[in-house]
Amino acid sequence: MAEFTMELNDEQKEVRDWLHGFAADVIRPAAAEWDEREETPWPVIQEAAKVGIYSLDFYAQQYFDPTGLGIPMAMEELFWGDAGIALSIVGTGLAAVGVLANGTEEQIGTWIPQMYGDANDVKVAAFCSSEPDAGSDVSSMRTRAVYDEAKDEWVLNGTKTWATNGGIANVHVVVAVVDSELGSKGHASFIVPPNTPGLSQGQKFKKHGIRASHTAEVVLENARIPGSCLLGGKEKLDERLARARERARAGGGERVKNAAMATFEASRPAVGAMAVGTARAAYEEALEYAKTREQFGRPIIDNQGVAFQLADMRTSIDAARLLVWRASWMAVNGKPFTAAEGSMSKLFASETAKKVTAQAVQILGGNGFTREYPVERMHRDAAIYTIFEGTSEIQRLVIARTLSGMPIR
């Protein structure tokens, strides 16, 4: 087990500087254009693939970093560049985590490479959990998966929403109900292979922020997939469902995690790191502006009202990063989140990003309200962090339940 440290080693610093260079030289110059176009920035993703950032190997190296700091460090630098483009680059990772968290070694080796493609033919993947009537309340999920034993196939029906890369993905990971009587414990995750009949893209959303990231509905109409596409395999699923039914008959017992929650738990600190990157970018823009913008014959940073805001912004950013790093180290080293540390990191970092970007707009004044300056876009982008992969309210609920041991509602 690696000791917890707040200092990156030389190799990590080299990777950080490399990512920062890509974010500064490739992502940032393209940010405003793709935000306006509201389209997937395929050329930027391809550039990331060419240099090795958009690849299974790169994310595997960061994912298995024994310090736990590889992924949050990478997320912070890329999202410092631009949140929308960065999400297009890393969005496939949520589907990959879903396979890593629930799949067999064979499934991991088969499907994750197909999620990324290669530098000459880049692909993306989508993780599909939320539904029109089931966002935070995963127990209300309606998408059904029915096993056809005669053909060894699963038949999927339902509509998913808010899916990053939904409909344009080469591989979709879909969470569906296999036993409606068990609530969220009766869910399972499935791979929907490329070009599966019955899967189509529904509405594409025009969003407030992260506009360069494709978000859409995914419609499943009698979509048939091979039995081997059930993540973890049917034997493991049957055993898990049997345990859940036995506990239900006994009136409770040990809590069983469902497939969607296992994925979100693993990814929450990474989302926190994304928020830290956006907050840091806005803070740096505001700091530079305050040092050069003059009013009444002096830079506005000479005024305590501005200087104290910047001090609070930097303090909150550093505190958020430390919570993210702690949770990431704990996750990689098998430390249980006994105080919901993963949710803590995501909650604090998300709220920090919203507050810091709003303060940046305020410091820039009228200029901050225009699209001529990037803090306007950063402020719009930051709103998503308190919403996706568990709203701030859900994070507080998870934390409160974990601390109290009570079924707080």
Residue 3 has pLDDT above 90, yes or no: no
Q: What would the CATH number be for the domain defined by 10-122?
A: 1.10.540.10
The alpha carbon torsion through 128, 407, 101, 199 (nearest 10 deg) reads: -20
- pLDDT, position 5: 86
pLDDT band at 60 (very low <50, low <70, confident <90, very high): confident
What sign for the dihedral angle of Cα 37, 41, 42, 43? positive
Topology of the domain covering 125-250: Butyryl-CoA Dehydrogenase, subunit A; domain 2 (2.40.110)
- pLDDT, position 257: 52
- pLDDT, position 362: 98
Is position 389 annotated as part of the catalytic site? Answer: yes
- What is the mean pLDDT of the segment spanning 340-362? 97
Tokens 């999920």, located at residue:
141
pLDDT band at 259 (very low <50, low <70, confident <90, very high): low
Q: Which class is 259-404 in CATH?
A: mainly alpha
Written as six digits, the tokens of 195 are 């070009």
- pLDDT, position 219: 98
CB atoms within 10 A of CB 201: 16
The candidate with the shortest Cα–Cα distance to 343, out of 408, 393, 278, 277, is 393
337 alpha carbon, distance to own chain's centre? 19
pLDDT band at 256 (very low <50, low <70, confident <90, very high): very low
- With a pLDDT cut of 70, the percent of the chain lying above it is 96
Do residues 341 and 330 lie in contact, with contact meaning Cβ atoms separated by under 8 Å?
yes
- pLDDT, position 264: 60
The average confidence (pLDDT) of the chain is 94
CB atoms within 10 A of CB 147: 15
How many Å apart are CA 136 and CA 138, to the nearest integer? 6
Q: 68-82 pLDDT, tens per residue?
A: 999 999 999 999 999
Residue 262 has pLDDT above 80, yes or no: no
Written as six digits, the tokens of 123 are 């692909």
Tell me the helices (H) and strands (E) count for the chain, helix number first.
Answer: 14, 11
**Strand-pair category, 125-128 with 171-177:** parallel
- What is the mean pLDDT of the segment spanning 114-118? 95
The candidate with the shortest Cα–Cα distance to 88, out of 38, 45, 32, is 45
- What is the mean pLDDT of the segment spanning 24-45? 98
- What is the mean pLDDT of the segment spanning 87-103? 92
Q: 321-335 pLDDT, tens per residue?
A: 999 999 999 999 989
pLDDT band at 56 (very low <50, low <70, confident <90, very high): confident
Residue 389 has pLDDT above 90, yes or no: no
Residue 403 has pLDDT above 70, yes or no: yes
- pLDDT, position 253: 47
**Cα angle vertex 178, ends 177, 179, to 5°?**
95
- pLDDT, position 97: 85
- Which helix or strand (DSSP H or E) is residue 343 part of? helix 341-364
pLDDT band at 409 (very low <50, low <70, confident <90, very high): confident
pLDDT band at 249 (very low <50, low <70, confident <90, very high): confident
How many Å apart are CA 169 and CA 26, to the nearest integer? 23
CB atoms within 10 A of CB 168: 16
The alpha carbon torsion through 222, 228, 234, 235 (nearest 10 deg) reads: 170
One of 106, 376, 389, 393 is an active-site residue; which one? 389
DSSP 143-160: -EEEEETTTTEEEEEEEE
Parse the chain into domains and list their residue ranges.
10-122, 125-250, 259-404
DSSP 23-71: IIIIIHHHHHHHHHHTS--HHHHHHHHHHTSSSHHHHHHHHT-TTS-HH
**Cα angle vertex 391, ends 98, 333, to 5°?**
45
